[in-house]
A and B are shown apart, each in its own frame.
Chain A
Amino acid sequence: MTARLNQRVLSARDLCKEYGTGAGLVRAVDGVSLEIEPGESVAIVGPSGCGKSTLLYLLGGLERPTAGGVRLADQQLERTTEAKLALLRRHALGFVFQAFHLVDELTALENVELPALLAGALPRRARERARELLEEVGMTDRAEHLPSALSGGQRQRVAIARALANEPLLVLADEPTGNLDSGSTTDVLRLFDQLHANGQTLLIVTHDERVAATADRLISMRDGAFVSETRLTGGTARTLSALTGLDG
């Protein structure tokens, strides 16, 4: 825990990602550098197609950078084999996707226990942990439901619970409210707020200003590069109740 508090969770240097060649070359991420401290909540905002999701995939080791490097939990991702990257993702990262990406034929409970089973946890322990997490996200009564029987907000809450299954160092969320209505967005924001309060490190990619306003740090991205960075603590960060219009 001390190590988690004292060391940077993630740092990226001059990160680039290019697709195509010649005239068709597209630079999705262009020289991005980033550092995330333990317990910090960082939001990256920008219009569609600016490279936010690609950056998230690079930081999560789901894609290899064309140039630059990412350091996560004391490991340089670009020098790591696919197998080691998988192990790193298993223990250090939790993903939340815009499209939820729940396994259709598994219940909410089975979806949440999946990362623990992949990490080799005992089935009973994985099941207990999944029940705890579903309780944390307020989904206990829906534990045995299939994703098709859940609303968008409920699916995202299950996905968040799944992201926390192996107690990750960092949760990477890609447009977590992108497919949700206003009510569900508030539910999900409340959850992130709660996670942040509990010291969970968060990196959220979004174009929703309400989500971005709950972060400690707000980074704006355009055409694959960071264009501005704002620290929101000390008066600029807004509470969830203010964002949702619930404070006095």
Chain B
Amino acid sequence: MGRLLLIARLALGDIRRRRLQSALLVVMIVTTTSTLTLGLALHRVSQSPFEHTRAVTRGPDVVAQVGSGPDSTRPSVAQLAPLRHAPGVAATAGPYPVARARLTAPGASVAIEAVGRDAAPATIDRPLVVAGEWVHAGGVVLEKGLADSFGLHVGETVRLAGRRFEVAGVAVTAAYPFYPACLPALVWTTRADAASLAGRQPLGYVLDIDLTQRSATDAFLASPAAGAFQDATSNEPSALQAWQWIRTDDYRLIALNQKAMLVGSWLLSLLAIASIAVVVGGRMAEQTRRVGLLKAVGGTPTLVAVVLLAENLLLAVAAAIVGLIAGDLLAPLLANPGAGLLGSAQSPRPSLSGTALVVGVAVAVALAATLVPAIRGARTSTIRALNDAAHPPRRRPLLIALSARLPLPLLLGLRLVARRTRRTILTCASLTIAVAMVVAVLAVQHRIQLTDREQWALFAGAAVGARATHVMLLLSSVLVALAAISATFTAWATVIDARGSTALMRALGATPRQISAGFTAAQLLPGALAALAGIPAGLLLYELAGGHLGNATPPVLWLVAVIPGTLIAVAVVTAIPARIGARRSVAEVLRAE
């Protein structure tokens, strides 16, 4: 008990002493865990709202429609009749008349299909009215996705085929994908209104079918009756729609977000490991003397390692809890399952296993980053540690020889890089991840710009693209922020580690500006490598996330601009540590060394 108390006291004491570093470590882990929580929450979202909506609205297993295409031959109810008695059919509802028209309202003009329905609820597909009331003469009910997309509300007036209709209500259904996944958009009117909207155009018809076995849609679609129906309506798109296809259309939007978030959260985890290793390494560089003191007063190597591990584990667990809460609060903003489905008001919470995964990742990240420095710290000889002798720098003869031929800032920068190659690699890795994400965002943005809006609209892609850009921008902002923190820390760790040699350089005649430029150059070198590696990595990431570069590679100018952009960003974030490092009192450092 006393031992545990001692470890806790020592760990807490050090956290208090290094508040800023501890806070930054927490920020990094919080960012990672909250993104992971979001990704997991989205995963759950994609599994539940359609099922919920389908159950509440008694969604059909198959929807059959005639007259749905512009090239339809004159459709008739009789074409649907054989399906009502086909094997495997348990019940049907309809047929309902369907008129194609254009809905116009201030700021809205969209092709719609008006389904004529009775006032009484049907046995299959009972759209759930979420605002206003069900259809009446002169009153139209809008599918919720449509109403939300154009900001249309109950009581407002819209025009269908030029005729004025009052918005009587807003409803959700599982018989059609929600707008914009469903085009033309869906509205419900009375049968008489639907017939009058068709005018001279022939009316189409829709039949809702329930099967004896919900999962037997494939067998039904392969049956002779369905085959004959499909042959007769071969020039119409989606004459027969199984519920699984409707669900797939609904989730196209959510699935892209989910994929982006999951990929992003794993990238963040990688970046966090690299960044945390840098931060912890920096902490260790400053803790050498403390390790010596602990050992000098009788602390065993195990105790020293446990104290260092406990410190970072405490921070990791605290950060994981904050990350879970932040992810939980943010999830509804990004995880809206779509205006056309029920369940959007529910907060998509990760499961128990998801929570355990998030905490596990945080702890694993902290452990992975702490283990090596903690063991090294514990093994450091007491006398050496008391003398504050840091891990000796590496000698890279080739780099040293090459640097002698370079201008002074590059000479200093390259030699600083050569001293700590592992730190340089970690910095390079974290910056590469951030650059890759920025490049992937550029690719998405370019794809959206390239594609004709109408074409997007046909495939319901505009909203998908916009949402994807939103998610990618959010993720890349977080990644860039983390990379910036990491770069600042690396610069700071370099400044601390090289304080002796830079003080000596100044004694030998290097100016503060040259030293500062040297520190910046030491960060720019991995920054340049990261920019070069990040561009192909970002394009690869875009491909892996489902994009196709073949016809949408971002302009070369955009990609080339990433290189100076990265270098400027790195120079800016390392400017302050570099300046502080270059202006330390030479005499003070030399006396202390």
A residues contacting B by CB (< 8 A) are 53-54, 57, 60, 62-63, 82-83, 86-87, 89-91, 95, 97, 99, 101, 103-106, 110, 113-115, 117-120, 123, 126-127, 146, 148, 162, 166
Cβ–Cβ contact A89 & B404, under 8 A: no
Most buried by A among B394, B509, B513, B593: B509
What is the distance, in angstroms, from A85's C-beta to the closest C-beta of chain B?
8
Residue in A90, A95, A105, A148 whose beta carbon sits within 8 Å of that of B400 in the complex: A105
Complexed CA–CA distance, A54 and B506 (Å): 17
A60-B507, A114-B505 known, 17 other contacts, Cβ within 8 Å: A54-B587, A62-B586, A86-B506, A87-B511, A89-B508, A91-B509, A95-B508, A101-B590, A105-B392, A105-B400, A106-B400, A110-B404, A117-B408, A118-B510, A119-B509, A127-B404, A148-B392
Cβ–Cβ contact B405 & A123, under 8 A: yes
Chain B, interface SS category: helix
For A63, give the chain B residue with the smallest CB separation.
B587
Complexed CA–CA distance, A82 and B509 (Å): 10
What is the distance, in angstroms, from B92's C-beta to the closest C-beta of chain A?
83
Complexed CA–CA distance, A89 and B506 (Å): 9
Contact A117-B509, Cβ < 8 Å, known A62-B587, A101-B593: no
Taking CB atoms, residues of chain B closer than 8 Å to A82 are: 511-512, 583
What is the distance, in angstroms, from A172's C-beta to the closest C-beta of chain B?
10
Interface size class of B (residues with CB under 8 A): 20 to 34
For B397, give the chain A residue with the smallest CB separation.
A107
What is the distance, in angstroms, from A198's C-beta to the closest C-beta of chain B?
21
For A56, give the chain B residue with the smallest CB separation.
B587
Q: Give 1 or 0 for each of B490-519: 1 = CB within 8 Å of chain A CB.
A: 000000000011001111111111100000
Taking CB atoms, residues of chain A closer than 8 Å to B505 are: 114, 118
Taking CB atoms, residues of chain B closer than 8 Å to A99 are: 590, 593
Contact A115-B508, Cβ < 8 Å, known A99-B593, A101-B593, A103-B501: yes
B residues contacting A by CB (< 8 A) are 392-396, 400, 404-405, 408, 411, 415, 418-419, 500-501, 504-514, 583, 585-587, 590-591, 593
Complexed CA–CA distance, A54 and B588 (Å): 10
Taking CB atoms, residues of chain A closer than 8 Å to B396 are: 105
Taking CB atoms, residues of chain A closer than 8 Å to B500 are: 101
Taking CB atoms, residues of chain B closer than 8 Å to A86 are: 506, 509-512, 514
What is the distance, in angstroms, from B412's C-beta to the closest C-beta of chain A?
9
What is the distance, in angstroms, from B122's C-beta to the closest C-beta of chain A?
82
Taking CB atoms, residues of chain A closer than 8 Å to B418 are: 105
Taking CB atoms, residues of chain A closer than 8 Å to B395 are: 105-106, 146
Complexed CA–CA distance, A42 and B328 (Å): 74
Cβ–Cβ contact A103 & B511, under 8 A: no
What is the distance, in angstroms, from A175's C-beta to the closest C-beta of chain B?
12
Taking CB atoms, residues of chain B closer than 8 Å to A106 are: 395, 400
Cβ–Cβ contact A63 & B404, under 8 A: no
What is the distance, in angstroms, from A192's C-beta to the closest C-beta of chain B?
19
Cβ–Cβ contact B513 & A97, under 8 A: no
Cβ–Cβ contact B419 & A113, under 8 A: no
Contact A89-B509, Cβ < 8 Å, known A101-B504, A103-B504, A105-B393: yes
Residue in A105, A113, A117 whose beta carbon sits within 8 Å of that of B394 in the complex: A105
For B507, give the chain A residue with the smallest CB separation.
A95
Cβ–Cβ contact B404 & A113, under 8 A: yes
Taking CB atoms, residues of chain B closer than 8 Å to A166 are: 509
The 9 closest A-B pairs by CB, nearest first: A90-B509, A86-B511, A57-B587, A105-B395, A83-B511, A63-B587, A62-B587, A123-B404, A62-B586
Cβ–Cβ contact A104 & B509, under 8 A: no
Cβ–Cβ contact A105 & B512, under 8 A: no
Contact A62-B507, Cβ < 8 Å, known A86-B512, A99-B593, A105-B394: yes
For A85, give the chain B residue with the smallest CB separation.
B511
For A120, give the chain B residue with the smallest CB separation.
B408
For B513, give the chain A residue with the smallest CB separation.
A83
Cβ–Cβ contact A53 & B591, under 8 A: yes
For A110, give the chain B residue with the smallest CB separation.
B400
